[in-house]
Structure 1
């Protein structure tokens, strides 16, 4: 009776070791491609499989994979090479994401890593990347610790203008009429002021290179949000809910 029990226990120990490296949304210490996340890592009898999700941060964004990509574990300097992939174009071909916000989920199969590994590096292109190109380089990806969950960021609208309701209805007769006349006369003045501010803003944005400068600033803001741990959707929600540059600061001299 004891022998079958020991056999079952041994089986479960072996099975647990075989699948110990399976993890969803692993913790990543650093990465070069801020628009791509690791959904999960799985190790079976043949391969270590990494599932990625790439995001388009602009219309007609493209994504591709180099077959030179490999894994390296915390155990030694051995490389576990690319075997095959699914749902992504290989260099020189490209997968096009037509609309900003579109997602591409794809899998990359590598040679099986040792069961004792606790973390991996994923290297598509070692060293500094070419200008404007981000490679699938992920460093110190944990096989035992998940990334912290971040709740959705909710941006609240500004509070309503507080009105002194205690003074309502306290003006009578001529005083009330004079107040109404004064407010009516101020209408054209406010309209003229609003037009002047709008013209100043338009003039500011028409300066050579100004729109490109603002676009670059917003892109850097988006990348910084993702690098700090926000998901792509959360970062996109933040930068689209309100401009990084306030309207008042867009007017020269303000």
Structure 2
């Protein structure tokens, strides 16, 4: 911006404008970061608050043909049914493998995937017969991870579409992480649960984005103004030179 004769963008006459833009940018960055943090806190709070609520019957919040209710992520539920034999899979996790066995829910022909616990290896004692399970309700995952070996029982994510091929009945649109593991397994702790729904805290994220865009726009307008001033002075200097 120093190409125009007599134009110095760092001259004292421009300092108030520079300062104003810096203040606006700082406020926008601060408020954007604050809104972003509020959104993150809302997501964390949504998951924590539901997991601490009283358990309810699974069928009161999710039916066999229902889409997963987005406001029920982490809801404690109770369910009774019969284990589906030879349908156990192992979902890879940072802390070992989730041991997942479908449970045919009493009163329906559909099965609910149940995370029975965590194993260090993709191997666990089989279960059979009837059971009553209490756990946290979760939506099936869709991380996009690729299964390197579709022929084995190890999955990169817990997704209904991957489990449908292994059972002869319909599956619920969610799964349950058991609060009490079956014999020989470690409990799946709260830290191992998936995060709250994707839309939780989305409004605060968009507010944050708006503030950051506002800050960038303020900088753009000021820089554009200075460029216009430089161009006007360059034209004026060129006109004077041509007349001379």
Pick the TM interval, shorter chain: under 0.3
Normalising to structure 2: TM-score of the pair? Answer: 0.23
